[in-house]
């Protein structure tokens, strides 16, 4: 959302896509979903922030993000069972 507002105002340039949805679905076995869209938006934000500058870093960023999501969802399930 933040990036979209910046693009509308012309204060930022849209980063070059290092990965697209098809790449992420193929490499990480994901299906089309809001979670995939959110992941790609987060990747674009990381690019704008200078945290990700090439495809290898983008792959590492996605892998780390997916790992963090799995860890967080696991903790939620444990908390819900208690």
- Residue 29 CB-half CA count within 13 A: 1
pLDDT digits (tens, 9 = 90+) for 23-58: 999 999 999 999 999 999 999 999 999 999 999 999
Task: Please give the Cα distance from 28 to 51 (Å, whole number).
Answer: 21
Give tens-digit pLDDT for 4-19: 655 565 556 677 899 9
User: Phi and psi for 43 in degrees, rounded to 5?
Assistant: -65, -45
pTM of the predicted structure, to 2 decimals = 0.71
Instruction: Report the 10 Å Cβ neighbour count for 17.
Output: 14
How far is residue 9's CA from residue 3's CA, in Å, rounded to a whole number?
Answer: 10
Burial of 45 (0-12, 13-18, 19+ CB in 10 A): middle
């Amino acid at each position: 959302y933040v990036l979209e507002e910046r693009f509308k105002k012309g204060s930022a340039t849209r980063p070059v896509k290092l990965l697209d949805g098809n790449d992420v679905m193929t490499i990480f076995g994901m299906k089309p979903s809001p979670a995939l869209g959110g992941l790609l938006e987060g990747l674009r934000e990381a690019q704008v922030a200078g945290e990700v500058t090439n495809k290898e870093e983008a792959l590492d960023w996605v892998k780390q993000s997916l790992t963090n999501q799995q860890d967080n969802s696991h903790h939620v399930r444990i908390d819900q069972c208690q």
